[in-house]
Structure 1
Amino acid sequence: MTTLADQETTADIGEAVVAEIAGLRDRLVRLSHDIHGYAELSFEEHRAAAALADALVGAGFDVERGVADLPTAFKASYGTGDLVVGICAEYDALPDVGHACGHNIIATTALGAALGLATVADRLGITVKVLGTPAEEHGGGKVLMIDAGLFDDLTVAMMVHPGNADTHPADTATQGVSRWAATFTGKASHAAAAPQLGVNAADAAVVTQVALGLLRQQLPATARVAAFVREGGRATNIIPERTVVDFEVREFDLDAQRGLHARVLACFEAGALATGCTLELEETEPEYAPLRQDARLADRYAAALGRVGRPIADRSPLSGGSTDMGNVSQLLPSIHPMIAVRGSENPPHTHGFARDAVSAEADATVVDGATAMALTAVSVAQDEALRRELLAEQRDRTAPTTDRSRR
């Protein structure tokens, strides 16, 4: 299949995309700052989602809002090509520190890349699909949208994440994470008059925390376990009858993550057994899978990043944290690289990075990230051998026997 006019070259298409996104700079930056000011938490991103969807409607995209029964999720499509390029937009903020993870940048790089690609979609023979994915920080919006089938028709998926360095996608890894709540139930009693009649649920949490602390001594460096007591008594003269502990486990390998989860559960069971409490466990968020970067897309993104003036010289691995983009990457070819807010020395999830996310350097990151993603898609679409390979993988993935269960 020919995806270009006979006289048209890759450079022609690329230059058209670069020029289009450059012309959108003021609009993208203004929206980035607007979303930063909204600072809406997971599943509450109504203004951010509406602003992005409205911008896509204005550019001729077919937009459906409230998909997957999520009021702040949307999908937007442009074009009719068989190669479907998925671009993920995140826009939720963090409690207390606002857009300290730079999701205002993520959202507007996604928009810029989509609008740039829309101008050449017919010439490339692609469909551009933007998925507005809420609740990345807490709630797993992408996981819920996967379960609803919204990623089934994508050939590839991509997004970029701001940070302190420009990275080759192959050098960026994230852990999977599972998050649960453990509820210990004991028996209340007067702490002075009849302590012997009580069953102390707070003690169960203490035993568990000691067990977790000892377990950490034998864990590999790739593993992380964190917990805090959300509820654990209300008065000193009452034996606590109910204690709730929120906890999470992280690993870079999905099997290792689930094995670690089982070991952590044993610590909670020990707390219940030692104190005579009952134990109830509840998953509080969908499980996030480790990130799998597609090498074919990664190399093209690295080349595109160099084209926008960000050559990757330092190939130092960058790892840690978790994202529901990991679930997407386990399902189909994906990339999730980091792109620098130049000059920022503040790590994400800090007040300092929240300030940096609307700096002049952050504004440049919006344009560069959008352009690099769009150029990656151009490169993939014009590589006929890779295109055939990816489309064949998509056909295999979406065959009737495909297991759509969460991965």
Structure 2
Amino acid sequence: MKSLKDVAAGRIDALSERILGLSHRIHANPETGWQEHQAAGWITGELAGFGYEVKRELCGFPTAFSAGVGRGPLRLAICAEYDALPGLGHACGHNIIAAAAVGAAAALAPIADALDARITVFGTPAEEGGGGKIELLERGAFDGQHAAMMVHPGPLDVARAEPFAVSHSRIRYRGKASHAAAYPERGINAADAFTVAQVAIGMLRQQLEGGTRVHGVLTNGGEAPNAIPEVTEGRWYVRAGSLAELDVLEEKVRRCFEAGALATGCGLDIEAESKPYSEFRTDEDLLARYVDNAVALGRRFTESGPDMRMNRASTDMGNVSLVLPAIHPYIGIGSLPAVNHQKEFAEHCVTGAADRAVLDAAKAMAWTCIDAALDADLRGRLMSADPAGNVPSPTPSDDERQALGVR
């Protein structure tokens, strides 16, 4: 008789063309944060076809959703991302994340009741700066879940997520336009304000803690060279090891932007694009099961070196990890020397290696869910933290599993 893991893997293999077709379709039609209407429709369509109860427009967000199957008290969440980067398409490989989540969901649908569990896929928009998971968290979407997981592509397989906490801000200086040659004294140069701020940030870096990051782009630098710029705008990220450290660093960076306003006489507006992303708290037991499962599939993990640093990238999954036991491993797509957020990486996200990563990630997540359900100690620990206060359920009996033709 087949094991549950054999059943899950076989189902993914049988559906591989469908799963990989979804990955390629999302990749070919990139949509930026909060605009992922096609991707959300395609993903929910697949999940409904696999027997999942789909709730679209979750918490009022048009491109968010949840999809659940199974009646058991253990509730395991799989997160799907599917937003693209402006100008770069799927250069972070969210098509792989989405397809792997759907693959794992397809594998778990027919065995969820044998696991005495409920599997829920959460469609989480706008990871690239919009903080979709944070918005869903705060609106109660994850209430009652016992654990959450997702797998993110990178150049190499890396087990542990160690992301920076990050804030995302829009910066706007308000000056006064004037003819740059005839009446320069009547203008207030908003571009100069940004120059002063960037110089101040550059000088600040000498005093920053190692491992922090401050970086951004100017999105509007003026309209014409013969007109003093009246308005300049930019997007700025500040990263630190934790939310507490981020609070301290943000104040220092804010003073740099205030210096630009003070020096030039410009007005200054700083607006948060999203709530801050937090550091990540890894559930060690779940990660150990994932690593064992991935190694059984032939994956090999990198533990040091510059090429594995994608695990330092910020993610709103960190905020989920502060509320639920969670993992966020990285799966390699053989892209080197191309790395995330390069157009060359986007090209690698639909190669044979990327397709293998989709299927391996789907299997590893499905198998990790099976381990979480059937390991009495792990199941009991996860359910003991149940925010709904439910009593931990025993693992399903042999008779219950045999009723589904599995062991």
**One fold, TM greater than 0.5?**
yes
1:112-131 equivalences in 2 (<5 Å): 112-131=103-122
Q: In the alignment, which residue of structure 1 is the partner of 2:127? A: 136
Q: Cα offset for 1:105?
A: 0.9
Aligned identity (percent) is 45
Other-structure match for 1:164: 155
Given the superposition, is the C-alpha separation of residues 343 and 179 from structure 1 closer, same or farther in structure 2, using an over 3 Å criterion? closer
Whether 2:253 is the aligned partner of 1:261: answer no
Identify the residue that residue 285 of structure 1 maps to in structure 2.
Answer: 274
Q: Could you tell me how far apart the structure 2 residues matched to 1:360 and 1:374 are?
A: 21
Distance in 1 between residues matched to 2:95 and 2:12, nearest whole Å: 17
What is the CA–CA distance in structure 1 between the aligned matches of 2:168 and 2:131, rounded to whole Å? 11
1:88 to 79, 101, 110: 79
**Structure 1 contact 344–356 (Cα < 8 Å) conserved:** no
Is residue 302–residue 311 contact of structure 1 (8 Å, CA) maintained in 2? no
**Alpha-carbon distance between aligned partners in 1 of 2:228 and 2:27, rounded to the nearest angstrom:** 45
| More displaced 10-residue stretch of structure 1: 153-162 or 285-294 | 285-294
State how far apart, in whole Å, the 2-side matches of 1:308 and 1:30 are: 22
Once residues 249 and 195 of structure 2 are traced to their aligned partners in structure 1, the CA distance between those partners, rounded to angstroms, is: 20
Output one character per residue of 1:226-281: Cα deviation in whole Å (capped at 9) or x when no partner.
12322233233433332223211011211111211110001111111222222222
1:355 matched to 2:344: no
Shift of 1:396: 7.4
Partner of 2:209: 220
In 2, Cα distance between equivalents of 1:163 and 1:137: 15
User: Are 1:323 and 2:315 matched, yes or no?
Assistant: yes
Q: Is 1:240 equivalent to 2:232 in the alignment? A: no
- The CA distance in 1 between the partners of 2:387 and 2:223, in whole Å, is 57
Q: 1:48 to 1:138 in 2, by over 3 A?
A: same
Q: d(CA) in 2 for partners of 1:195 and 1:82?
A: 70
Question: In structure 2, do the counterparts of structure 1 residues 232 and 98 end up closer, same or farther at CA, with 3 Å as the change threshold?
Answer: closer
Change (3 A) 1:279 1:368: same
SS at match of 1:282: strand
Instruction: Tell me the residue number matched to 1:401.
Output: none
Output the amino acid matched with 2:303: R
1:367 to 336, 344, 359: 359
Pairwise CA distance, 1:130: 0.3
Q: How many residues align?
A: 386
What stretches of structure 2 of length at least 5 have no aligned partner?
391-407
Q: In the alignment, which of 20, 27, 34 is matched to residue 29 of structure 1?
A: 20
* Alignment partner, residue 198 of structure 1: 187
Q: Distance in 2 between matches of 1:217 and 1:343?
A: 33
Instruction: Report deviation, 1:184.
Output: 2.0
* Distance in 2 (alpha carbons) for counterparts of 1:255 and 1:397: 30
1:361 Cα offset (Å)? 1.3
Q: CA deviation at 1:311?
A: 4.1
Q: 1:245 to 1:59 in 2, by over 3 A?
A: closer
Equivalent AA in structure 1 for residue 69 of structure 2 = Y
Alpha-carbon distance, 1:320 to partner: 2.5
CA distance in 2 between counterparts of 1:311 and 1:207 reads: 47
Q: How many Å apart are 1:397 and its aligned residue?
A: 8.8
Aligned counterpart, 1:39: 30
Tell me which amino acid in the other structure corresponds to 2:100: T
Q: Give ranges in structure 1 of 5+ residues lacking alignment.
A: 1-7, 399-407
1:294 to 251, 268, 283: 283
* More deviation, 365-374/215-224: 215-224
Aligned match of 1:376 in 365, 368, 393? 368
Residue 180 of structure 1 pairs with residue 180 of structure 2: no
Range 228-237 or range 279-288, more displaced? 228-237
Give the match's secondary structure for 1:298.
helix
> Is this contact kept in 2: 1:162–1:339, CA < 8 A?
yes
Partner in structure 1 of residue 395 of structure 2: none
SS at match of 2:294: helix
SS in structure 1 of the partner of residue 386 of structure 2: helix
Q: Distance in 2 between matches of 1:269 and 1:396?
A: 46
Cα separation, 2, equivalents of 1:236 and 1:227: 23
SS at match of 2:260: helix
